[in-house]
Amino acid sequence: MSGPQTLAEHAGVLRTKMGAAFPGNRAVFRGHDLHRELKDLDWLSLCAFGIFGRHVPREQIQLMSSAWVYSSYPDARLWNNRVAALAGSTRSTPNLAISAAQAISEATIFGRGNEFRALDFFLKTQQALDAGASLPDYLENFLRSGGRLAGYGRPISTSDERMPLTLGLAEKLGLTDGPYLKLAFDIDRYFESTGRPLRMNLSSLLSAFAADFGWTTREFNMQLFCAFLAGMYPCYLEAADKPPGATFPTPCVDVVYEGAPARDWPAR
Amino acid sequence: MSGSPLHTRIWREEAEPDNAFATRTARCHGYDVYGQMLGQARWADMVWLLFKGEAPTRAEATMLDTLAVALANPGPRDPMVHAAMCGGVGGSPAAASLMAALAVGAGQSGGARDVYLCLRHWAQCSDTAESTWAQALTQTGQPTWLAPDDAGWPAIEHPAGFDPHGVRTATIVQQTLATLASMSPGPRLPWMVTQREALEQAAGLPLAMTGVAAAALADLGFNAQQGEMLFLLLRLPGAAAHALEQADYGFKRFPYPQVDLLDDPLNKHQEATA
């Protein structure tokens, strides 16, 4: 780091290659005039252009957005959706509800954190295999050293109903020949052969596709932002239309207390 | 009882006899909050009790209170407060301003993640000689494998708890360190007072407020997860106050800096036609 000079150079001005709005005139988006050169892009393609700085092939976007369709369950019991529903129940605003539910989706055992680690794992594993490691040795060593595998196993269910749909579409789109998809299945088969309850789920499948598409963990993390979004809106709406507080109401008796017994506050 | 109840070791409520959803008594770790604590306990007592399950001593509560004052307002130049002001200036809901402050203030450059990483380093020091602490505290290495709570975070750019753009330890950081060290049970803050210059030399950077906060939280017995949460929480008052103030000032008295667009299609077009 180079001291306060670095900050001083950036003070009072936004120096950017990403774009700017000139209200009433034009807007620039990553070096292109938004209303002339990019106006015909659909919204997801523009999001991808914003993330990658290049036009992402349509079939890659289609695969990921279809996976979001398959992952958008309007079930208010799911933890992220539950936040949207609870916000509806307390009569908070839709935007606050969805923003908070989206923030919750950056979890470690599902969602954004899970995919991030799965992609990181595939990239590092492939490097190790390229350097001569054997997959069984590598996986066993990973687990022995305390590694926690992302994208294999599922907190609520052992199978993943979204897998065949995603794979079917990927095949149709010609996206199933990549080395990381093969690696993901090799890992799945290895765990199956050892009897471990670590079967591949949609997170690892999408992460394998992301690796095959050449996406970085950060790009993948950002591109997957919409994954659960569509299912959140109905959860908010229904809760907002029920009587206030009537979504997940909890009577006192439904809280199991497991702490210290009753005692007196120390006098000071 | 429902087949899928909530579980807690923190909070016990007894219902009113005529309403299972209304509270007659509420106990926090066994203490009657509304019957006994209210009017006697300080805010710091309650926060401490919630996190640790026991009432603090007077000295512990005083030190937590002091830390809370030090962290309450990083000021409007801080990105976290600036983010909250963006909510205030545009008339966003109050919660949006605080959510913005939390998201920005969560970061690992001057934010709660900085404190979390620093506390992880302190945890590594728990059974080691003081002579090894500086090395542990100034590490910047990336983990070989991402632990679950590492996912999503950008690469570490500087040792946690140090100011990446600093020249020397800011006066307010020194004042906070001296005050907290004078009331700390130790051993980290008193060590930091005596070893600060050597520590900064090892890091190549001056100590930041996050580094002092992390050492204080560690001396008070908070772990990394608790420290991260508390740091987020304790910095919210300033964010809230500045968001409200900015709403009063309006958008005409909020910076909207000039832009230097480095990749302007208009320039490319002019160059092509020149």
- Full 3-state SS string of A218-246: HHHHHHHHHCCHHHHHHHHHHHHHCCCCC
* Banded model confidence at residue A109, pLDDT cuts 50, 70, 90: confident
Is a pLDDT exceeding 80 seen at residue B274?
A: no
**Residue B1: what pLDDT?**
73
pLDDT at B273: 77
DSSP β-bridge partners for residue A20: A28
Whether A124 contacts A187, CB under 8 Å? no
Q: What's the gap between Cα A149 and its chain centre?
A: 16
CA distance B186 to chain A (A): 24
| DSSP-assigned letters across all residues of B78-138 | SHHHHHHHHHHHHT--HHHHHHHHHHHHTSTTTSHHHHHHHHHHHHHTTTS-GGGHHHHHT
A221 interaction partners in chain B (CB closer than 8 Å): 152
Question: Exposed e or buried b for every residue in B72-94, given b needs 16+ CB within 10 A?
Answer: ebbebebebbbbbbbbbbeebee
Q: pLDDT by residue (tens digit) across A152-165? A: 876 556 677 888 99
- The tokens for A264 are 């007196």
Tens-digit pLDDT profile for residues A89-103:
999 999 999 999 999
Domain ranges of chain B: 11-40, 55-141+156-252
* pLDDT for residue B89: 95
Amino acid identity of residue B55, one-letter, is A
DSSP string of chain A?
Answer: --THHHHHHHTTEEEESSEEEETTTEEEETTEETTTTSTTS-HHHHHHHHHHSSPPPHHHHHHHHHHHHHT----TTSHHHHHHHHHHHTT--HHHHHHHHHHHTB-SSSBHHHHHHHHHHHHHHHHHHHTT--HHHHHHHHHHTT---SSBS-SS-SS-THHHHHHHHHHHTT----HHHHHHHHHHHHHHHTT-S--B-HHHHHHHHHHHHT--HHHHHHHGGGTTHHHHHHHHHHHHHSPTT-SS---GGGEEE-SPPPBPPPP-
E runs forming strands in B181-273: 258-261
Residues 6+ apart with CB under 8 A from B252: none
Q: Residue A156's pLDDT is what?
A: 57
Find the helix packing angle between B112-124 and B224-234, rounded to 10°.
Answer: 150
- The span from the CA of B243 to the CA of B230, in Å, is 21
Measured between CB atoms, does A244 come within 8 Å of chain B? no
Q: Comparing B96-100, B148-152, B153-157, B191-195, which segment has the lowest mean pLDDT?
A: B148-152
Distance of alpha carbon A73 from alpha carbon A233, whole angstroms: 10
Minimum Cα–Cα distance from A151: chain B residue: B148
pLDDT one-digit tens code per residue, B129-138: 999 999 999 9
- CA gap A179, A182 in Å, rounded: 5
Q: Over pLDDT 70: what percentage of chain A?
A: 97
Query: What number of other Cβ atoms are within 10 A of residue A116's Cβ?
Result: 26
A-facing residues of B in 22-81 (CB < 8 A) are 23, 27, 29-32, 36-37, 40-41, 53, 55, 58
List strand residue ranges (DSSP E) for chain B, in order: 6-8, 11-16, 19-28, 31-32, 258-261
pLDDT tier at B147, thresholds 50, 70, 90: confident
**C-beta neighbour count of B19 within 10 angstroms:** 11
B31 CB neighbour count, 10 Å cutoff: 22
Q: What ipTM is given for this predicted complex?
A: 0.89
Q: Is the pLDDT of residue B178 over 70?
A: yes
Contact: A142, B264; criterion CB under 8 Å:
no
Q: Average per-residue pLDDT in chain B? A: 95
Distance CA A71, CA B56 (A): 46
Closest CA to B223 of B134, B116, B130, B128: B116
User: What does the domain layout of chain A look like in residue ranges?
Assistant: 21-56, 112-224
Distance spanning both ends of chain B, measured CA to CA: 79
CA distance B90 to B87: 6
Chain A segment 166-195 residues within 8 A of B by beta carbon are none
**B240 membership: H or E segment, kind and range:** helix B236-249
Contact residues for B211 (Cβ-Cβ < 8 A; gap 6+): B118, B137, B160, B161, B162, B173, B192
Q: What is the mean pLDDT of residues A46-59?
A: 97
> How far, CA to CA in Å, does A211 sit from each of A46, A70, A119, A147?
21, 20, 6, 20
Mutate to test the interface with A, among B40, B42, B165, B256 (most CBs of A within 10 A): B165
CA dihedral A40, A42, A46, A47 (to 10 degrees): 170
- DSSP-assigned beta bridge partners for residue B23: B15
Kindly tell me if the per-residue pLDDT of A1 is higher than 60: no
**Are A197 and A47 within 8 A, CB to CB?**
no
Measure in Å the smallest separation between the Cα of B168 and chain A Cα atoms. 10
At residue A32, what are phi and psi to the nearest 5 degrees? Answer: -125, 145
ω into B237 cis (within 30 of 0): no
Query: Where is pLDDT greater, at A114 or B206?
Result: B206
Ranking B10-24, B132-146, B153-167 by mean pLDDT, the lowest is B132-146
What local confidence, expressed as pLDDT, does residue B270 receive? 79
Chain A, chain B: beta-carbon pairs less than 8 Å apart: 167
pLDDT in tens, A183-224: 999 999 998 899 888 888 888 999 999 999 999 999 999 999
Cβ-Cβ contacts under 8 Å for B32 (sequence gap 6 or more)? A262, A265, B25, B26
* Residue A154 pLDDT: 67
User: Considering the domain A112-224, what is its CATH architecture?
Assistant: Orthogonal Bundle (1.10)
Q: What is the mean pLDDT of residues B187-203?
A: 97
Put simply, the chain B residues between 192 and 231 with a CB less than 8 A from any chain A CB are 205
Average of per-residue pLDDT across B248-269: 92
In degrees, rounded to 5, the angle at the alpha carbon of residue A199 between the alpha carbons of residues A197 and A205 is 160
